[in-house]
Chain A
């Protein structure tokens, strides 16, 4: 039996609708602010859905935007960790193929080629994760597992997405998954768990984490932001377009993460929810969390980030895990931006309006993907000991 290594986070990078740094992301959430707004290039295309989570740090005119957004998050994480890419594995999701504006019109950009280009400076393992909206969380979990079992000392894990194009907005609108404009303030487009929710706001973004063994972090005297202590995945095996009503698949992956961490549900202090603001998704997630927590469901704070940054698809899970890591580090649970009136069936201990300082140490962060892929990670307050 191999000794399991403890796995810690020593660097993070985030580009989101709230800004180009992890600090921007965290400060925006604490301020209960949404970065979702009308996006000029969507208005220019003539479609009816124009609210989105735009990343301003890289120009929409840059034909290499998919690489640039990902690389900036990766570089920020590596710099913070003081690690070289060549000594790290790379577990990443670049989402789906996309279209990017080039000098002679729109060009098709392959997610696979984007991954290969990003991976070129890393060591093996170089795994591209494809689990829809659960990709970012699964990337963290897979990297955690590889490091825990001694197959690699350090990994960069995360995801990036540049799907904020009419191509995907029209597709998701057809599935009634995105919030269609109706004259509202665009910053209110995505309202997780709210009575007025009408779907998510699609977003671009990237999130990266450097994960490594606690031993190597101690040896390098690296700052530890949080520890990854559990990981679980599951499949709904129910429907391609919607979750099962009782959230059974979601509950299963959370229970697997708890078992992996050797924790009881009583030891979880807070949840960073998937919280897409789709009608059926939020109901299923709330049902799953109530079943998971049993009698405690009224007292475990739940927060979601998509009201503030939109749904960044392959990047969503890691951006949310970065928020969860900040919660572990500070004890503070940010509010669910745009949640005002909790819908019937979505009842949980929602954090509304302002952050809640509860000295949270252990946070469950979950993602549920289209097709029924579910992933959960559990983070714990980091220490060097």
Chain B
């Protein structure tokens, strides 16, 4: 059995900076999607029995990088065209902003986590692959799994972002915001071509919203087409006590 134990969402880095200075010191070098994902993960791991042994499944942003990185990228592409790059240097912090598995690595360092890890890339609909992976791992391999994602509307201009984290457990714990158990029953797919809006975190946020609105019993959540990978209809079935 796989249960949703806790979930958190963050979209306000100023609040993280003001209210969690220790966390901010840890994440301040990173780009916005990573900062938001780690802030959400930090919150849900308070409910973990052992953060160092939980499986970690992390979604890379569909809009990677940062405004600084994109500005630097523009300098490079202009120099590439004119052959004038010479001894141009890159700020190592901006190098980090290009790394797609950064949130997973930073989480592992913060929580001394050496457990199973799966980084999923910044393509549309990978959130549901992450949910499938949670189901696989908690079927006899681990007892807890973290699924986290951070993304932004666009990287070039510092536009809004969202971080989401979900903690799953094999134990029937009450899901914290509702104080009821939420069991992940299945993730099912059928082939269908649709248009998508790639974003690592929005799909999971919409799922959490649907859980919050459901009273009890089986919830058959049909993922909105724009949150899928473009080739599947995805149905997530949950049982809420």
Contacts and interface: CB of A to CB of B under 8 A. Distances in A.
B81 A111 contact: no
Interface string B82-108: 011111111110111011111011101
A45 to B, nearest CB: 5
A46 B83 contact: yes
9 contacts: A45-B79, A45-B80, A47-B88, A106-B77, A130-B119, A130-B122, A138-B118, A238-B109, A370-B99
A317 interface: no
Contacts of B163: none
Contacts of A174: 89-92, 95
Contact of B98 (A45, A47, A105, A171): A171
A171 B94 CA distance: 8
A174 B120 CA distance: 26
A96 B109 contact: no
B129 A371 contact: no
A131 B80 contact: no
B174 interface: no
Contact of A48 (B87, B101, B119, B231): B87
Given A106-B77, A240-B109, A252-B114, 4 more contacts: A45-B83, A45-B85, A119-B123, A132-B119
Contacts of A132: 99-101, 119
- The residue among A123, A127, A138 with the most chain B CB atoms within 10 A of its own CB is A127
Interface residue tally of chain B, by bracket? 35 or more
A239 interface: yes
Given A47-B88, A48-B87, A373-B104, A106 B81 contact: yes
A44 B56 contact: no
Nearest to A105: B81
B85 A129 contact: no
B85 A371 contact: no
A126 B129 contact: yes
Interface stretch (A23-31, A229-237, A287-295, A303-311): A229-237
A131 B129 contact: no
Contacts of A94: 121
A345 interface: no
A128 interface: yes
A112 B79 contact: no
A235 B114 contact: yes
A96 B98 contact: yes
